[in-house]
Chain A
Amino acid sequence: QKEVEQNSGPLSVPEGAIASLNCTYSDRGSQSFFWYRQYSGKSPELIMSIYSNGDKEDGRFTAQLNKASQYVSLLIRDSQPSDSATYLCAARASSSNTGKLIFGQGTTLQVKP
């Protein structure tokens, strides 16, 4: 069973700090990775996708991918209370021709004013 692992948290950071969220995956053939944000009682919202080793930046968000270490991370700079949510890491299954996503259980982030 291919897996995606995340620390469930909660991860607590003060407002204005950098939040670092981490994820490891077991499917070495996975090529596509996604970060979704999910507010309590809501559905997942896509934040970023990343396909190549290295960093990808979008505003206050930076996704990092290291395929050799099978590690994906999301950095949130200048964290705001509105960033408080569960962050889901997902990997596209390599054995799938359908884009099936395998999700971690999510990390809960709390940004304290």
Chain B
Amino acid sequence: DAGVTQSPTHLIKTRGQQVTLRCSPKSGHDTVSWYQQALGQGPQFIFQYYEEEERQRGNFPDRFSGHQFPNYSSELNVNALLLGDSALYLCASSYRSQETQYFGPGTRLLVL
């Protein structure tokens, strides 16, 4: 039973660039939530996708956008990267939007 997968595992970008992160949910799950975790902090909710729609957004600017595909996989896009965007980006999947969330291994983004 495949768990949540994310790609890439690590990424280095420079300020102003754009990045796309990918997530495949656990088998049987249809909902994907994205979180940002800065060093030494707990994860912060970015948004959730269910039925290919963004259902709720956390306190993140419009530079952060996403998409969910018919196979339930998801992408997180960040435009105009800032140094402060350096963090671990976590994807969590669940069956339906309010069920227990399971995290993928994360993508570590470093913005120089």
Find out whether the CB atom of B100 lies under 8 angstroms from the CB atom of A104.
Answer: no
Q: Hey, which chain A residues are within 8 Å of B99, CB to CB? A: 99
Which of A53-61, A63-71, A72-80, A90-98 has 4 or more CB atoms under 8 Å from chain B? A90-98
Q: Hey, which chain B residues are within 8 Å of A30, CB to CB? A: none
Task: Give which listed residue, B41, B45, B103, B106, contacts A100 with CB less than 8 A.
Answer: B45
Find out whether the CB atom of B45 lies under 8 angstroms from the CB atom of A88.
Answer: no
Q: Hey, which chain A residues are within 8 Å of B50, CB to CB? A: 98
Q: Given contacts A43-B90, A44-B90, A96-B56, is CB(A101)–CB(B43) below 8 Å?
A: yes
Q: Hey, which chain A residues are within 8 Å of B101, CB to CB? A: 34, 46, 99, 101
Find out whether the CB atom of A99 lies under 8 angstroms from the CB atom of B98.
Answer: yes
Number of chain A residues close to chain B: CB under 8 A: 24
Find out whether the CB atom of B45 lies under 8 angstroms from the CB atom of A46.
Answer: no
Give chain B nearest CB distance to A73 CB in angstroms.
Answer: 17
Chain A, Cβ-Cβ closest to B48: A98
Q: Given contacts A42-B105, A44-B43, A105-B42, is CB(A100)–CB(B58) below 8 Å?
A: yes
Q: Hey, which chain A residues are within 8 Å of B56, CB to CB? A: 96-98, 100
Give chain B nearest CB distance to A23 CB in angstroms.
Answer: 11
Question: Which positions 49-76 of chain B face chain A at CB distance < 8 Å?
Answer: 50, 55-56, 58
Tell me, in angstroms, the Cα distance from A96 to B59 when the chains sit together: 13
Q: Hey, which chain B residues are within 8 Å of A97, CB to CB? A: 55-56, 97-98
Give chain A nearest CB distance to B25 CB in angstroms.
Answer: 14
Give chain B nearest CB distance to A31 CB in angstroms.
Answer: 10
Give chain B nearest CB distance to A106 CB in angstroms.
Answer: 6
A interface residue numbers (CB < 8 A to B): 4, 8, 34, 36, 42-46, 49, 88, 90, 92, 96-106
Q: Can you name 6 extra interface pairs (CB under 8 A) apart from A99-B31, A106-B42?
A: A43-B90, A43-B105, A44-B103, A46-B102, A88-B43, A101-B92
